[in-house]
Amino acid sequence: MQAYHSQQAMASTVQVAGKTTCLRYLLFLPPGYGAERARRWPLILFLHGKGERGDDLELLKRHGLPRVLEQRPDLPCIVASPQCPANSDWSELMDGLCRLLDELTARYAVDPDRCYLTGLSMGGRAAWQLAATCPQRFAAVVPICGNVSRVPGLLERLCALRDTPVWVFHGARDPIVPLAESEQAVRALRACGGNVRLTVYPEGEHDAWTEAYASPDLYAWLLAQRRHR
In DSSP notation, 7-62 reads PEEEEEEEEETTEEEEEEEEEE--TTTTTSTT--EEEEEEE--GGG-SS-GGGGGG
In the DSSP assignment, the letter for residue 174 is: -
Residue-level pLDDT at 17: 62
Task: Report pLDDT digits (tens) over 50-81.
Answer: 999 999 999 999 999 999 999 888 899 999 99
What is the phi/psi pair of residue 30, to 5°? Answer: -75, 160
Q: What is the pTM of this model?
A: 0.94
Window from 14-18, 88-92, 99-103 with minimum mean pLDDT: 14-18
Residue 166 contacts residue 189 (beta carbons within 8 Å): yes
Pairing mode of beta strands 140-144, 110-120 = parallel
Domains of the chain: residue spans and CATH: 8-224 (3.40.50.1820)
The amino acid present at 177, given as its one-letter code, is V
CA 166, CA 199: separation in Å to the nearest integer?
11
Task: Report pLDDT digits (tens) over 134-166.
Answer: 999 999 999 999 999 999 999 999 999 999 999
Residue-level pLDDT at 96: 92
CA 41, CA 139: separation in Å to the nearest integer?
13
Report for 133-137, 150-154, 202-206, 225-229: range of highest mean pLDDT = 202-206
The amino acid present at 61, given as its one-letter code, is K
Is pLDDT larger for residue 126 or for residue 22? 126
Local confidence band at 82 (pLDDT 50, 70, 90 cut-offs): very high
CA 223, CA 190: separation in Å to the nearest integer?
22
The overall average pLDDT reported for the chain is 93
- DSSP of 123-144: HHHHHHHHHHH-GGG-SEEEEE
